[in-house]
Structure 1
Amino acid sequence: MSAPAPPPSETPPGDRDTTAVDTRRRWPVAAALVALLYPLDQVTKSLAVAHLVPGRQQPLVGELLQLRLIRNPGAAFSFAENLTWLFTLIAVVAAVVVVVLLTRVRSRGWAVALGLLLAGVLGNLTDRLLRAPGVGRGHVVDFLELPHWPIFNVADMCVVSAAVLIGVLGVRGHRLDGTREGAEEPDGQAGEQTRRGGSDA
């Protein structure tokens, strides 16, 4: 005599927890970006320090893009140069927040944005922690120069790209959890609300 079949699951398919699956699909995107861009930032900074004369311009793409080495105690693009400790603290907090968000992200777009942001934050934070004049007060190495634009580095490019992408995602209504603002509700939920409306009438 065969054993009785187990009772069917009472949990509707729509209520099942798929967080782990979604997270595994998304955070590796950010991790791959960090693994690529963070070393790129650090290597290019080391090359700039080793081969460029501070303050001297060296054409890279004519006058459109030039190399000029400076050491920046402020934020991105030499903003607020007297607040090095504050920006170090902000960078640490930002990195922690981004890592926490990446454990929950289910959107590829947000995974890309947060990966770019984390790579940029870690790139400049490393300079603040390890470079002269001291821990937490280190000056960030900047070496890329465009006409009429502050000198920057690869980490700055990552942060700006992340900000632009986050803005686009926000305008288009893409949420961190992979849903989209204003999207139509599932048919079952819409039908249930219709039945409730009819009974209330």
Structure 2
Amino acid sequence: MNYLLVLLIVILDQASKVMVQSKFLVNESVPIIKNIFHLTYVQNVGAAFGILKNQKMFFILMTIFVIGGIVLFLHKHKNWHKLVPYSLSLIVGGAIGNLIDRVRLGYVVDFFDFRIWPVFNIADISIVVGAVLLSYYLIFLDKVHN
């Protein structure tokens, strides 16, 4: 696990969310590139795409379980291709960023709005990039590494 990467993701995520909350009203939107990319402050009480709305305790417990599982997995299995701990560190950093929101606020702060996709944040980007890198490893590199 790359704890520095995890910390960097959490700091960037939380700082960006604090900035959005201090400058925007809920559902306020500012076009950066009109009709393509906006900054829109949304309070997401669900998961990706707003599914499972108002299941705060479920998301908190599942996130803690997943983070704990990843940390234990990486400490138990240390002989991985370097892409694995980096991808899992991105996932954990993003998960912690959104977990902080759920515990502190009861919802996740989202603000990147491309109009053709649900609004998201830096933690979401980190989770998706980590999952893509992990998938790449599992599909293409796992057979080479083992």
TM-score under structure 2 length normalisation? 0.90
Q: Is the 8 A contact 1:88 1:125 kept in 2?
A: yes
Number of the residue aligned with 1:157: 125
SS of equivalent to 1:141: strand
**Pairing 1:146-185 to 2, within 5 Å after superposition:** 146-174=114-142, 180-181=145-146
Letter paired with 1:125: L
Contact 2:81 2:145 in 1 (8 A): no
Partners of 1:165 and 1:79 lie apart in 2 by 25
Candidates 80, 89, 93, aligned match of 2:65: 93
The structural deviation recorded for 1:151 is 0.6
Question: 1:7-156 to 2 correspondence within 5 Å?
Answer: 27=1, 30-103=2-75, 104-105=77-78, 106-131=80-105, 138-156=106-124
What is the number of equivalent residue pairs in this alignment?
A: 144
Larger radius of gyration: 1
CA distance in 1 between counterparts of 2:31 and 2:73 reads 40
Q: Which structure would you say has the larger RCO, counting Cα contacts within 8 Å and 6 or more residues apart?
A: 2
Q: Which amino acid aligns with 2:95?
A: V
Q: Which residue of 2 aligns with 1:19?
A: none
DSSP-derived class of the 2:42 partner: strand
Structure 1 Cα separation of the partners of residues 37 and 139 of structure 2: 31
Letter in 2 for 1:42: Q
SS at match of 2:43: strand
Structure-1 separation of matches of 2:4 and 2:20: 25
Once the two structures are superposed, residues 103-157 of structure 1 have per-residue CA deviations (whole angstroms, 9 ceiling, x without a partner) of 23332100110110000110001111111xxxxxx11111110121001111111
CA displacement at 1:161 relative to structure 2: 1.0
Which stretches of structure 1, 4 residues or longer, exceed 3 Å deviation after superposition? Answer: none
**Structure 1 length normalisation: TM-score?**
0.66
Q: Report which of the two has the higher share of strand.
A: 2
**Shift in Å at residue 84 of structure 1?**
2.1
Higher helix share: 2
List gaps (5 residues or longer) in structure 2: none
What secondary structure does 1:54 align onto?
Answer: coil
Q: Please tell me the root mean square deviation across aligned C-alpha atoms, in Å.
A: 1.7
77 and 156 in structure 1: CA distance in 2 versus 1, 3 angstrom threshold: farther
Contact kept, 8 Å, 1:77 with 1:156, in 2: the verdict is: no
